[in-house]
Chains A and B, each alone.
Chain A
Amino acid sequence: MAEGTGRRLEENGKKKIDPGSWIILLLVVILFVFLSATRSNFFTFNNIHSIIYGVSFNFFAAIGFTLLIIMGELDLSVGSLFGFGGAMMGLFVFSYKLPAGVAIALAMLVAALIGLSAGFLVVRFRLNSMMVTIGVMMTVKGINWMLVNKFSGRQLPVNARSFVSVDVFGIKWIILVMVIIAVVLEVLLARSRHLKQLYYIGHNVDTSILYGLNANQVKCICFAVSAALSAFGGALMTARINHPDVTVGSNLEISIITAAVVSGASIFGGRGSIVRTMLGVLFIFTLQNGMTSYGINTYVQQIILGIILILAIYLDIRVNAKKA
């Protein structure tokens, strides 16, 4: 559905740096300061490194999600596709004895096809993307369970898991990749002709089509990218924990929506940025780390995360109501 309609572009296209949108940076800093002050073992290199290391896997599920939320579409299947990447990698490595690189590439390809079909259904029948991706989420989750049950108790071979934990300059390579991707995409979103379209489509999809943008095609591609990158992150995560597991990517979609909306993306489309989403994911995971160090039960953490999600969405609605 065209949730981005009826929204105006900023006056004369003038770019203003909106300090409000960087509130997420402030939130992360406050959280870090608070936890460092109250928890003795928080502000150590190892702890921070391990938090960011954990974030870097999940960040891959958030990239495509952010691209889609900019266009006003929500992809709730990222969590299950994240697990799917790991499960498919397991399938290719265990059953077909393929090397890890090929297995991951194939897993990404299959996931991209799933994302593409979901995107196709959304744009062809003008469906609510959330509804469709909930269906995809259920289906893919079922497939994950089947695959993981098949390989229960088996460990990935060494060459399929050691590559994840390689250090570069004293930190894990995947963290560097995350930062590079975030910065590059951020610059491209602001400058490149192709990626700027996303904002135009998100602001007003009808106008963007009148101006000659192929909104449907762009949306389909982004759904495929979102699925493929989620699968990539999930495959790396699976390699990290040594075996395919159903817990990989479970409930991830809630964390990712919360991260995206807390960091200033709007569910109505037209706003969002990759670096800020990265900070959002960092915020959510640091919060979880902090709550765990306070001995808060994971189920209580779920409740708190849900409250944060609803608050963030509510603020988003208030901000949009003022602008409109």
Chain B
Amino acid sequence: MNLESLRRLGKKNELIAVVLCLALVILLTLRGGVFWTGGNLNSLQASIAPTAIMAFGMMLLLICGYFDLSIGSIMLLSGILCGKFAMMGLPIPLIVLLVLLAGLAAGCINGFLVSVLKINALIATIGTQYMGYGLAMTIWDQIRGFGKFSDSFIAIGEGRFLGLYYMTWIALILLAVFSYFLKYTSAGRRLYFVGGNREASKLIGFNDTRILFMTYALTGLLASLAGILAVARIQSPSQYMGDGIHMTCMIACVVGGGSFAGGKGSAAGAVFGVAFMSLLTNMFNLLEMKAQLQNVIVGLVLVAVIVMDGYLNLKKMREMGKI
């Protein structure tokens, strides 16, 4: 490996997240004991995989220069809908299909608001987050007292293949798919153009409204997939699922090389970013830090990430002479 290839490696956007992950792994290993035990690695998988599945959607949106704050609510809604449908006695494939459709519909609503009605992405998705939570809790009221899912449903979350959970395999497959999509397909490259310079991409003739709509729809679909996997793993619907996960995904994507300004990011970056956030939470838990304090720290990390991202963009704009 010569100097040139090292320098190219240093310019990779994912590098920060990889280094941070390694640092955390080393730190956790040095603290010894619990980290490398099977139970901890399992719970780490169960926290990384669904979040990573959602983060792929968030990353695609960030590449276009948009984001979605409602994915946490969609995840919660999917989990609770699973409970509702299971209570109605539907067969499992039908439950999964219906919940995925619900997630797709929620994504389409977001896409419609942001791309067709041109409502500011933050306000529109905060609105849908708020509404989604309201809807989820309304259904939650109807399924109070629902105990555990049937064993065959739980198998979706608990089942293993070659030692890894199904959800981890799904996340890995999606990683491969999205990496290929973003790098080698024209549809994937288009996202970068839309995010890099929206006006120019419109002038070349890209239908940015349609691209954005599809990306939002896909994000909703992925969020509901993550919701199904997560709820199957925790074995019963929970009203706390998905709480704050949109923040985790956003931080993860920016740490993993995305930018709020758009035009940057990769699927691998999203996974490393999510791994970083999960390892961080894992460390907090091993240090027995209170949940509220963890929230404070995550909030501060979010502000720091936003400021760093803004600073880098400002520097880039200055270099390009735009300001």
A residues contacting B by CB (< 8 A) are: 74, 76, 121, 125-128, 130-132, 134-143, 145-146, 149, 251, 254, 257, 267, 297, 299-303, 305-307, 309-310, 313-314, 317
Query: Across the interface, do A313 and B124 meet the contact criterion of CB distance under 8 Å?
Result: yes
Q: Assuming the A-B contacts A125-B311, A317-B118, are A138 and B244 also in contact, with contact meaning beta carbons closer than 8 angstroms in the complex?
A: yes
Identify 20 new A-B residue pairs, CB closer than 8 A, beyond the known A138-B302, A141-B299, A317-B119.
Answer: A125-B307, A125-B310, A127-B306, A127-B310, A135-B302, A138-B295, A138-B298, A138-B299, A139-B300, A140-B299, A142-B295, A267-B123, A299-B137, A299-B141, A303-B134, A306-B127, A306-B130, A313-B119, A313-B123, A317-B118
Sample (22) of A-B pairs whose CB atoms are under 8 Å apart = A74-B123, A125-B311, A130-B122, A130-B123, A131-B260, A134-B69, A134-B122, A135-B300, A138-B298, A141-B295, A142-B292, A142-B294, A146-B290, A299-B133, A299-B137, A299-B138, A302-B134, A303-B135, A305-B130, A306-B130, A309-B130, A314-B117
Contact B296 A306 (CB under 8 A): no
Given known pairs A121-B307, A306-B127, A309-B123, the reply for A145 and B134 (CB within 8 Å) is no
Q: Contact mask B299-321 → A, CB, 8 Å, 1/0?
A: 11011001100110010000000
Minimum distance in angstroms from A141 CB to a CB of chain B: 7
Contact partner of B119 among A74, A306, A310, CB < 8 A? A310
A83 and B292 alpha carbons, distance in the complex (Å): 15
Contacting residues, chain A, for B311 (C-beta < 8 A): 125
A305 to B126, CA, bound (A): 12
A121 to B304, CA, bound (A): 10
A300 near B134 (CB under 8 angstroms)? Answer: yes
Whether, in the assembled complex, B113 has its beta carbon less than 8 Å from a beta carbon of chain A, the answer is yes
* Contact assessment for B123 and A306 in the assembled complex, using a CB-CB cutoff below 8 Å: no
Min Cβ gap A144→B in Å is 8
Q: Considering the chains assembled together, what is the distance between the CA atoms of A131 and B137 in angstroms?
A: 26
Docked pose: A317 CA to B303 CA in angstroms:
28
Q: Which residues in A have their C-beta under 8 angstroms from that of B293?
A: 142, 146
Q: Given the complex, which residues of A lie within 8 Å of B130, measured CB to CB?
A: 251, 254, 302, 305-306, 309
Of A131, A132, A302, which one neighbours B131 at CB under 8 angstroms? A302
Q: How many residues of B contact A (CB 8 A)?
A: 40
Judging by beta carbons under 8 Å apart, are B131 and A307 in contact? Answer: yes
The yes or no answer to B120 lying at the interface (CB within 8 A) is: yes
Within 8 A of A (CB), among B57-85: 69
Q: Specify which of A135, A143, A297, A310 is in contact with B124 (CB 8 Å cutoff).
A: A310
User: B247 near A: Cβ within 8 Å?
Assistant: yes
Q: Nearest chain A CB to B228's CB is how many angstroms away?
A: 22
Q: Which residues of A contact B306 (CB under 8 A)?
A: 121, 127, 131-132, 135
B contact residues around A142 at 8 Å (CB): 292-299
Indicate with 1 or 0, residue by residue over B175-200, a CB within 8 angstroms of chain A CB atoms: 00000000000000000000000000
Q: Which residues of B contact A299 (CB under 8 A)?
A: 133-135, 137-138, 141
The chain B residue sitting closest to A308, CB to CB, is: B127
| Complexed CA–CA distance, A261 and B303 (Å) | 26
Report yes or no: A126 in contact with B310, Cβ–Cβ below 8 A: yes
| Least CB separation from A76: chain B residue | B126
Q: CA–CA, A305 to B298, complex, Å? A: 28
Bound form: Cα–Cα A127–B302 in Å: 13
Q: Chain B residues near A303 (CB, 8 Å)?
A: 131, 134-135, 138
Chain B residues with CB below 8 A from A134, complex form: 69, 122, 247, 302
List chain A residues, Cβ under 8 A from B127: 254, 306, 309-310, 313
Cβ of B128 under 8 Å from chain A: yes
Chain A residue at minimal CB-CB distance from B113? A310
Find chain A residues with CB under 8 A from B119 CB: 310, 313-314, 317
Complex Cα distance, B306 from A35, in Å, reads: 45
What CA separation (Å) do A309 and B118 show in the bound complex?
A: 14
Please give me the residue from chain B that is nearest to A137 by CB atom.
Answer: B299
Our pick among A143, A302, A309 for the contact of B133 (Cβ within 8 Å) is A302
Q: Are A317 and B117 in contact (CB under 8 A)?
A: yes
Q: Is the CB of B131 within 8 A of A149?
A: no
A135-B302, A136-B303 in contact; A143/B128 too (CB < 8 A)? Answer: no
Q: How far is the CA of A309 from the CA of B129 in the complex (A)?
A: 12
CB contact list, B113-159 vs A, under 8 A: 113, 117-120, 122-124, 126-128, 130-131, 133-135, 137-138, 141
Instruction: List A contacts of B128 (CB < 8 A).
Output: 306, 310
A310 to B70, CA, bound (A): 14
Min C-beta distance of B81 to chain A, whole Å: 15
B residues near A146, Cβ cutoff 8 Å: 290, 292-293, 296
Check if B141 sits within 8 Å of A254, measured CB to CB: no
CA distance A126 to B318 in the complex (A): 12
- Inter-chain contact B124/A145, CB cutoff 8 Å: no
Query: Is the Cβ of A267 less than 8 Å from the Cβ of B247?
Result: no
